[in-house]
Amino acid sequence: MLELQDVHSYYGTSYILQGVTFSVSEGKCVALLGRNGAGKTTTIHTIAGLHKSKRGSIRFKDKQLQSLSPHQISHLGIGLVPQGRRIFSSLTVKENLTMSARKRKANDGRINWGLEKIYELFPVLKEREKNLGTQLSGGQQQMLAIGRALMTNPEFLLMDEPSEGLAPVIIDQVGDIIIKLKETGLSILMVEQNIALACKVADEILIMNKGKIVWNGTPDGLMKNEEIQHKYLGV
């Protein structure tokens, strides 16, 4: 469904993505792991169009993404749950959800996400719908960021460190939500530092180091491979 082929990305003269190649097939959840500064967020931003790649191809379904702008990429069906949540601070919870709302284009029998459905999934957001987004706790903000992306009815979700800065109980909840979303047929590329969460929800694990994918395999494979864990994830 999503395929990166030898993608190279720079910030000014610093060479960040040094030939990234991987793919995510439909209905799957792939987790991208790696140390701080490995280039995970850059990968997510390059797919979402927030950062332009210099070379390589990014294909989503039958479309090339690399020359499209972020709003066009979003309209192809890619939703973004960014690192640090990036909740709009001058908008209420409800406005954060409705400002970008879009109906599902394809009539494929999947859930058509709207305000009601989001509130069903995250009842706490309904309770706090009149609050400003930034008055929520970290976990609630993460749910809001997920809800906001779902409101655009994506077929593919990019999630950048959804567990960052959250308490262990909340991380478990986030994991359950991701599994639920997968069951609705959503394909997911998730960046994580929390190996346990990644292994719980993902079908496949990728490890990135210095802008390259250096390992890929199953969650079980990673759990058994202490050398890789030690070398690239600092465990």
Partner 1 sequence: MSIFLAQLLTGLAYGMLYFMIAAGLTIILGVMNVVNLAHGTLFMLGAYIVFTFISDELNFWIALLISVLLTAVLGIILEKLLIKHVYGKELEQVLLTFGLSFIIADVVKWIWGTEMQTLPVPALLDASLSIGEMVFPLYRLFVVFIGCLLALLLWYLESKTRIGAIIRAGVDDRAMVGALGINVGLVFTGVFAFGAALAGLSGALGGPLIGMYTGMDNEILVTSLIVVVIGGLGSWKGSFISAILVGVIETFGKVWFPSLSMLIVFLIMMVVLIIRPQGLFGREVA
Chain positions contacting Mg ion, by CB under 5 A: 40-41, 83
Which spans of this chain sit near ligand ATP (rule: CB under 6 A)? 11, 14, 16, 34, 36-42, 83, 193
The three-class DSSP label of residue 182 is: helix
Alpha-carbon distance 170 to 140, whole Å? 9
Among residues 170, 210, 175, which one has the least CA distance to residue 192?
Answer: 175
Nearer to partner 1, 59 or 86 (CB): 86
Nearer to partner 1, 42 or 152 (CB): 152
Q: Among ligand ATP, partner 1, Mg ion, none, what does residue 218 contact (CB within 5–8 Å per kind)? A: none
Q: Which of the 8 DSSP states describes residue 132?
A: B
Nearer to ligand ATP, 47 or 93 (CB): 47
Which spans of this chain sit near partner 1 (rule: CB under 8 A)? 48-50, 69-71, 73-75, 80, 82, 86, 88-91, 95-96, 98-100, 102, 148-149, 152
Q: Which residues pair with 4 in a beta bridge?
A: 22, 58
Q: Pairing mode, if any, of strands 78-81 and 14-24?
A: unpaired
**Helix then strand then coil, % of the chain, to nearest 5:** 35, 25, 35
Alpha-helix residue ranges (DSSP H) falling in 1-53:
40-48
Q: Among Mg ion, partner 1, ligand ATP, none, what does residue 80 contact (CB within 5–8 Å per kind)? A: partner 1
Q: How far is the CB of 41 from Mg ion (least distance, A)?
A: 3
Nearer to partner 1, 132 or 196 (CB): 132
